[in-house]
Structure 1
Amino acid sequence: QGSSSLCRNIAERVSVKLDHETAVVGESQAIPFSDVLLLVLDRCEDPLTPLLNQWTYEAMVHELIGMHNHRVSLRSAPGISKELEEVILDADVDSFFEQTRYCNFGELGTSLKGLVDSFSATTRTRGVVQSIEDMMRFVENYPYFRRSSGDVAKHVALSAELSRIVGNNSLLEVSQVEQDLACREAEHDHRTAVWELLGNQKVSIRDKVRLVCLYYLRYESHAARDVIQLCNRLRDLGASLSDVDVVQSIVQYAGFTRRSGDVFSNKTLYARAKNKVMRGVGGIDNVYTQHEPLLASTLDQLLRGSLPSA
């Protein structure tokens, strides 16, 4: 990314290092780099993606529960059995996780239900399984299933905990507003929606801060007064000084003047009009996954050979 001095510096240092390695081992033994492309990007070009709640399985586990060295602790999950207090998520040894790690939460539930239904049919057990709660009861009522299908029982427990966290923190409502902020110009609607969520006691301070950050990033050129009021509201709700400082810091780091691209599609009148027209004509398949990371379009340009050199 030629517009970023940081990226240029890294690229130049890598180039010097490669030249040095080639000189040391000789050109005949050096690794051929002619067909290799190193893409160095500055995070400030896309501050949106890290601020959005994620809805694919592996990302949700990382974001909402936490995973370290493939280990996930479920000790805080209500009613969790002893053998499921800590579980392993590793696609190399868990075929179900390999198949579903990038599935959205709805697809995950469908896959789990299929496995439970298959077990029910094989063992001729009775019971209607329509929800994650039904799956949890099924696992508890049939210890044999838990022993013979440990991976599935593990994923049922994880899904139940994710579902509990989503509900307890109103993440569906939060995510819908986040996605709309990332993808659409509607300042009045967004201001109203953010204020409403700030008043929602189920929404965490962390998510409230992220909403204000998204609002400020999109409307920073003329929303200073609104943001001051929103930050004051965050303080009233118990947000720490460091939490509130994040709102200003993120604009200083990745605000309008720091970004060379048009991540919000609102830098020009044409871009704003095109954004609104496309949203109106194309429709939305899933309100929780409207946003497409800038990296996706960058890689697409790269594959097409149309990526700008600067």
Structure 2
Amino acid sequence: MNVVQAVKLYITKMTEESGPGMKVILMDKETTSIVSMVFSQSEILQKEVYLFERIDSHSKWDNMKHMKCIVFIRPTPENISLLLRELRYPKYGVYFIYFSNVISKADIKTLAECDEQETVREVQEVFADYLAVDRHLFSFNIVGCLQGRSWNAQHLQRCAQGLLALLLSVKRRAVVRYEAASEPCARLAERVRDLLRREAVLIDNNIPFNGEIPTPQLLIVDRRDDPVTPLLSQWTYQAMVHELLTINNNRVSLAHVPEVPKDMKEVVLSSEQDEFYAKNLYSNFGEIGQTMKSLMDEFQKKAKSQQKVESIADMKNFVETYPLFKKMSGTVTKHVTVVGELSACVSRHNLLEVSELEQEISCQSDHSKHLQRLKNLLANEAVRQHDAAKLVALYALRYEKHASNALPSLIEALKTRGAPEHLLKSVVNLLEYGGAHARQSDLFGLQDAVKITKRLFKGLNGVENIYTQHTPLLKDTLEDLIKGKLRENLYPTLGGEDGPYGRRPQDIIVFIVGGATYEEALCVHQINQAYPGVRVVLGGTAIHNSTSFFEEVKSAMQGVHRTHTRHIRNV
């Protein structure tokens, strides 16, 4: 179940079916992102696509009849009307139209009636309707999917359609399980189940049925069950870049870095296009430093050998190896710049100290010690306001029910150090969003005997690294599912009539309403390695760092009356 490969196959099919000749690809905002996540511009150029156009732009080109037009858009009402406008006054010679999801017969009929000049050669549905972030990770790039405890209707529809496309693209018939205590999970599960029933013929035609293997499961869970994971500082390369610099559709802005080279103001970090990144996404920060040194040494060795251009043979050799040399030079410069900026952030903002306390609060219970260390860090001016607010939010979640809870005084301390209003609100909103009342799980292992024992053993054995003690709740949930221990009353099944869903599943798609994180992607990667024969794919409404997670919470809590945090005044 490789989601990058699934999307790539569809896009390759689109570029090949139109035959040889110069092509333009006409996309909408979302499909532009879908394509750019899996193909670089140079790779697309190799497929004779010379022009990229947006269907919602009023392009200056008048008449391009010599070019074939590949249309790749989502089947939304807005896009259909823009496509109708295009077909009434066609700029290009012929059109090959691909919708990223199911399109209604009525819309097809309208398009046919509009194609008076008979320029349309092909209309097809391809199911590339999600952002393939990594082989086992996908997203819909929606921050703020809920309004209070309910879905934003548009986002609900988008996620349901996207999940249908995902199942069709990886050719899996799945039963749907969801978190029983979460209203948003139940709504999405029902909507997906309804779409699967409505498109039963399409599924039968596209996905072979195999009664021999356990039915794949689509498990829908709620971010509010684990509000801790998105708040933690990260120490693996990919997650750290996202937390400190932000990865947006595989792109990272370095424009703020002093004296950054002009061509490095925005860099692409894609495991499909960058071998070094693919090998090191899950390496921790210490390992990255060592690996960077080896890369530099190798590059310098190659650079020295390139300098000896004395004969015709040397020149020929240089010309042949130059593109690879140049590519390596670009890779080295890019990663040295990124790692250099990460390193500067860590020392500038005392992130080792901040992270150590974050990990301790999330993994251990020691109120007086944590409170004292937290007060010391709040008094340290080198600690960023954002990190200070994260620490207070973690304290609020861990010690919500503690008899000596000091949250009001910690919020006062944030005010005193000049934290902006939105961060103060974030702490209170987070407790309202993901406090004990909102969670189905025993997040901190306070009641569950198994979890208490697990934590005790972990404490006795020590951990490999004080900065990576925490494991996301998702790990326990997935391991229970793989072992057939996930309780049906807590995670009921919809549409179980499809087959032997009671068996231990081999294929699992887990979707987090409210957004996933790169720490959870690492956890899924580790599970895929630890359980041979099991394939897990993770998706979320978004891929969060702590900043976008605060945005998620703010959006969900807008206009909601506080019922569990009324005791915190003046916020």
TM bucket normalised to smaller: 0.7 to 0.9
The equivalent of 2:470 in structure 1 is 291
Contact 1:75/1:86, CA 8 A, preserved across alignment: yes
Greater share of residues in strand? 2
Larger Rg: 2
Aligned-partner Cα distance in 1 for 2:246–2:208:
39
The equivalent of 1:29 in structure 2 is 205
The correspondence of residues 6-25 of structure 1 with structure 2, limited to 5 A, is 6-22=184-200, 25=201
* 1:301 paired to 2:480: yes
* 1:89 paired to 2:269: yes
5+ long unaligned stretches in structure 2? 1-178, 306-324, 491-571
The equivalent of 2:344 in structure 1 is 164
Contact 1:216/1:223, CA 8 A, preserved across alignment: no
Residue 113 and residue 203 in structure 1: after superposition, are their counterparts in 2 closer, same or farther (change >3 A)?
same
Aligned-partner Cα distance in 1 for 2:465–2:202:
54
Aligned-partner Cα distance in 1 for 2:350–2:203:
59
What's the offset of the Cα at 1:222?
Answer: 2.3
* 1:2 paired to 2:180: yes
Aligned-partner Cα distance in 1 for 2:433–2:186:
18
Aligned-partner Cα distance in 1 for 2:245–2:404:
34
The equivalent of 2:40 in structure 1 is none
The correspondence of residues 1-310 of structure 1 with structure 2, limited to 5 A, is 1-22=179-200, 25=201, 28-29=204-205, 31=207, 35-122=215-302, 149-222=329-402, 225-267=405-447, 270=449, 274=453, 277-309=456-488, 310=490
Aligned-partner Cα distance in 1 for 2:194–2:451:
42
Letter in 1 for 2:426: V
Letter in 1 for 2:194: V
What's the offset of the Cα at 1:28?
Answer: 4.8
Letter in 1 for 2:219: L
Contact 2:399/2:405, CA 8 A, preserved across alignment: no
Contact 1:146/1:153, CA 8 A, preserved across alignment: no
Residue 27 and residue 44 in structure 1: after superposition, are their counterparts in 2 closer, same or farther (change >3 A)?
closer
5+ long unaligned stretches in structure 1? 126-144
Residue 5 and residue 85 in structure 1: after superposition, are their counterparts in 2 closer, same or farther (change >3 A)?
closer
What's the offset of the Cα at 1:279?
Answer: 3.8
Q: What's the CA shift string for 1:229-269, capped at 9, x where partnerless?
A: 0001111111223321222221222111222211111236x
Aligned-partner Cα distance in 2 for 1:11–1:182:
30
What's the offset of the Cα at 1:69?
Answer: 3.1
Contact 1:198/1:234, CA 8 A, preserved across alignment: yes
Letter in 2 for 1:8: A
Residue 19 and residue 122 in structure 1: after superposition, are their counterparts in 2 closer, same or farther (change >3 A)?
closer
Q: Secondary structure at the match of 2:446?
A: coil
**What TM-score does the superposition give when structure 1 sets the normalisation length?**
0.85
Aligned-partner Cα distance in 1 for 2:393–2:485:
32
Contact 2:225/2:439, CA 8 A, preserved across alignment: yes
The equivalent of 1:135 in structure 2 is none
Task: Give the stretch that moved more between structures: 164-173 or 26-35.
Answer: 26-35
What's the offset of the Cα at 1:121?
Answer: 4.4
The equivalent of 1:139 in structure 2 is none
Q: What's the CA shift string for 1:114-170, capped at 9, x where partnerless?
A: 111223445569xxxxxxxxxxxxxxxxxxx88852101210111001100111111
What's the offset of the Cα at 1:178?
Answer: 0.2
Aligned-partner Cα distance in 2 for 1:146–1:37:
45
Superposition CA RMSD, Å: 2.4
Contact 1:53/1:175, CA 8 A, preserved across alignment: yes
Residue 55 and residue 20 in structure 1: after superposition, are their counterparts in 2 closer, same or farther (change >3 A)?
same
Contact 2:377/2:383, CA 8 A, preserved across alignment: yes
What's the offset of the Cα at 1:285?
Answer: 0.8
Paired residues in the alignment total 288
Contact 2:299/2:328, CA 8 A, preserved across alignment: no
Contact 2:231/2:390, CA 8 A, preserved across alignment: yes
Contact 2:299/2:329, CA 8 A, preserved across alignment: no
Letter in 2 for 1:158: V
Task: Give the stretch that moved more between structures: 99-108 or 275-284.
Answer: 275-284
What's the offset of the Cα at 1:276?
Answer: 5.8
Residue 191 and residue 120 in structure 1: after superposition, are their counterparts in 2 closer, same or farther (change >3 A)?
same
What's the offset of the Cα at 1:172?
Answer: 0.8
Letter in 2 for 1:305: G
What's the offset of the Cα at 1:291?
Answer: 0.3
Q: Secondary structure at the match of 1:40?
A: strand
Contact 1:185/1:276, CA 8 A, preserved across alignment: no
